[in-house]
Amino acid sequence: MIILESQPILTTPVAHAVGVWIASLLTLMIFSFLYKDNPFYKFAEHLFVGISAAYWMTVAFWTTLIPNMIARLWPAHMGGVLPAAVGQPREWIYIIPFAFGIILLTRLVSRIAWLSRWAMGFVIGFAAGTNFTRYLQSDFVSQIHSTMVPLYQPGATTASTIGNIFSQLVVFGGVVSALVYFFFSKEHKGAFGRVARFGIWILMAAFGASFGYTVMARISLLTGRMNYLIQWVKGASW
C-alpha cells in the first residue's frame, strides 16, 4: 500500500489518456441500459460491483483490521505499516474479536458452518444493543426536543418571532397529526379522522421531500458524468 502511494502507476500522458477512454466507454456502457438490457451494460455492471467490493475490502483491511486488531496483538511487527504502534504494549483482550473473526470464516466450510452462527449472533446482538441507545438519542429524543422548542426567543424582532411561531406550530401540528394517523386503537372518524388525514398529507410531503432530495443527488451525479463525457468528446483525437 505504501509502495503504491509513493510510486503512482498512472503518471504518463498515454496512461492517463487510456484511463480517460476506459472511464468514458464504461460510462456509455452503463447508459446503454436506457435503450435495453445488453451485454455491454452487464459487463460494466459486473466490473463496477467487483471493483467496488475489492476496493472497500482493501480499505476495511488497512483502516479497520490492521490498526484495530493486528496492531494491538502484534505491535512489534507494524514498523513498515503503522510505526506509531511499535513499542506499544500487546493488548491480549483483542484475541476475543480475533477468535470471533476466525469463527466467522467457518461459514466457508460446510461441515462446521454452524459455528459461524455464534459469532454472527454476537455481532448482530452487540450492534443492535449499542445502536439502540444511539438511535434512541438521535431519532427519538432529539426529534422530541426539536419539536417542542420555545415559541419566543428573547431579543428577537417581531417579524422573526411571528415567523418562528408559525413554523414551530406547523412542525408541532404536523408531528402530532402524523402520530395520530398511526393511532389505530380509535376509529378514524370525525375530528380525529380529519387530523389523521392531515397527517397523511404531512407524511406524503415528507416522503416527497426525501425522494426529491435523493433524485437531485442522483441528478448531480448524472451531471458530473455528462460533463465528463462532454470534456472527453472535446479532447478526444478521433
Residues 177 and 197 sit within 8 Å (Cβ to Cβ): no
Residue 107 CB neighbour total at 10 angstroms: 15
**H/E run at residue 152:** none
> Which residue's C-alpha cell is 456502457?
29
Residues 223 and 27 sit within 8 Å (Cβ to Cβ): no
Q: Which cell numbers in the block locate residue 60?
A: 476495511
At 11 the pLDDT is: 59
> Which residue's C-alpha cell is 476466525?
102
Per-residue burial over 139-177, b if 16 or more Cβ lie within 10 Å, else e, is eeeeeeeeeeeeeeeeeeeeeeeeebeeebeeeeebbeb
Residues 116 and 106 sit within 8 Å (Cβ to Cβ): yes
At 236 the pLDDT is: 62
Taking the chain (238 residues) in consecutive chunks of 10 residues, what is each chunk's mean pLDDT? 42 78 89 91 95 94 89 84 83 90 90 90 91 86 82 80 86 90 88 92 93 92 87 70
